[in-house]
Each structure stands twice: as structure tokens, then as C-alpha cells.
Amino acid sequence: MLRIGGLQKFSLIDYPGKVAAVVFTQGCDFRCPFCQNVNLVLSEKFSDAIGEEAVLDFLKTRQGQLQGVVVTGGEPTIQKDLGVFLSKIKELGFLVKLDTNGNNPDAVKEFVDKKLIDYIAMDVKAPLKKYDESAGIAVDKKNILKSINLIMTSGLDYHFRTTVCKAFLSSEDIKNLLEIIKGAKRYDLQKFSYQSGILDSSLLDKPDYTADEFEQLAALYSVGIETKA
Ligand code: SF4
């Protein structure tokens, strides 16, 4: 049974171009210091899980109204029952977007091969030499590269994205990061936002990019995205 910590019943922004519901799974294999989803990452912060059947029952009432379902986290692919859940969503006729940190390429491959997903968004945390620092654990970079390759050759809609926090990524780092997603059709930057409840609260005392600085980075490095600067 999938561990689900939240259900957003309506979203216009989480699945590009589609009206969607968003399902938040509990648990993550990374510990990114800038993570803003602590209540979906640390088990001691989990709220009571929402039953999978309750989510599917809700989706049945939205057939013909919502176009898609976004499955995000936490990290959805750490859950062994995810494939079964995705197939149930597909049986109801919804498009499925999966958000992932890319650490489980075997799961991504399975879902692509079985046509259980229609769109993949992967967080690419940093250039490889700084990956562990940004992910908060020792990451097997082969998994990251495998997921990137799988996604880019999947034939599905996709995008890569990076949360930009000055304490971890310089402009040069982002430039280096682009090397591992060379040829990607869509890449965007997301500004780290200061707020209490992030995984490493010591970041709240450190300087971050100003809005202008961030816009400049986004203009320099985004791919396939309109930026303001
Ligand atoms: S930001 Fe990092 S720790 Fe938080 S959910 Fe995403 S991958 Fe997990």
C-alpha cells in the first residue's frame, strides 16, 4: 500500500498545460538541506497517511474534469507499490506526471516501459562533483546519469529542474551541471525560498541570491523556458 501524505485536488501549475490533482507520497531517500517538504521526508513529521482507495475514489469523481495526476513527494519511486498505483490511475483515464530525484532509474525505466507515465520531471541537484552536498547523502552518480539518459530517450514529455540556493550553487556550478543534461529540451531553475521548516534551518542565516540575481541566472541557463531578464 502506497504511503500518501497529501492530496491537492486541483492544480493548474504542477502538470504543464494540464488541469491536475497532485498526490504527495511520504518518504525520501535524499536529505537535501534546502528541502521544503520536511513533513514528507522525515518520518517523525509525517501526518496520518491518506488511504490509496480514498485517493482513487476522489479521482473517480473527477473523471472528465481533471486531465492528469501528478505523483510527487518526498520521493515516489522508493515505494514498492508505486507501479500498481500508477496503473490504477491510468485505468481511470488520467495522464500521469511523475516527479523524481532520479536516484532509482530502474523504477523510472519500468514505468516508461509499461507506459504508466506520460511526463517526467527530474530534479537535477548539482554538478556531479557537488551532488552529495546538495542531496545530503552519498549518491551513486551512475543512477543520476542513467535516469537522465532514460528520460531524454523515453519519447515522453519531460523537464529537468534545479533548486538554486547560493550556499550550494554558484553560477559556474550551474554551468557545469548543464553538462550532464546536454541536449535536454527543457530545463528550469527554481529559486530557493527562505522559510522556516526547511531541512537545515542554518541556511536561514546565510545570504541567498536576490530576485534580480536569480532572474539573471534563469536567463543564462534555462532551456526551453521563457525568462524575464
Ligand atoms: S528536496 Fe530532496 S529531500 Fe526534499 S523531497 Fe526532494 S529529493 Fe527529497
Q: What pLDDT was estimated at residue 228?
A: 57
**pLDDT at 193 > cutoff 90:** no
Of 41, 77, 168, best ligand 1 pocket probe by most atoms within 8 Å of the beta carbon: 41
Residue 153 has pLDDT above 70, yes or no: yes
Query: What is the rounded average pLDDT for all residues in the chain?
Result: 95
pLDDT at 47 over 90: yes
* Sign of the Cα pseudo-torsion (190, 69, 184, 186, in order): negative
Residue 40 Cα: closest atom of ligand 1: 5
Beta bridge partners of 24: 6, 72
Q: What is the mean pLDDT of residues 204-215?
A: 93
Structural domains in the chain, CATH included, are 4-221 (3.20.20.70)
- 186: alpha, beta or left, given left = phi > 0 and alpha = psi -120 to 50? beta
Contact 109, 119 (CB under 8 A): no
Any ligand 1 atom below 6 A from CB of 116 = no
Query: What pLDDT, on a 0 to 100 scale, did the predictor assign at position 226?
Result: 67
Q: What is the largest CA-CA distance in the chain?
A: 48
Q: What burial class does residue 148 get, using C-beta atoms within 10 Å of its C-beta: 0-12 exposed, 13-18 middle, 19+ buried? A: buried
- Quote the pLDDT of residue 108: 98
Answer whether 75 contacts ligand 1 (Cβ < 6 A): yes
| Ligand 1 within 6 A of CB of 35 | yes
CB-ligand 1 contact for 14 (6 Å cutoff) = no
Instruction: Please state the pTM of the whole predicted model.
Output: 0.96
How remote is the CA of residue 171 from the centroid of ligand 1, in Å?
22
**Ligand 1 neighbour 74 (Cβ under 6 A):** yes
pLDDT-derived band at 11, boundaries 50, 70, 90: very high
Instruction: Tell whether ligand 1 has an atom less than 6 A from the beta carbon of residue 101.
Output: yes
CB of 99 shorter than 6 A to ligand 1: no
Whether residue 108 contacts residue 100, with contact meaning beta carbons closer than 8 Å, is answered with yes
146: CA distance to ligand 1 center in Å?
19
Instruction: Supply 210's cell numbers.
Output: 536576490
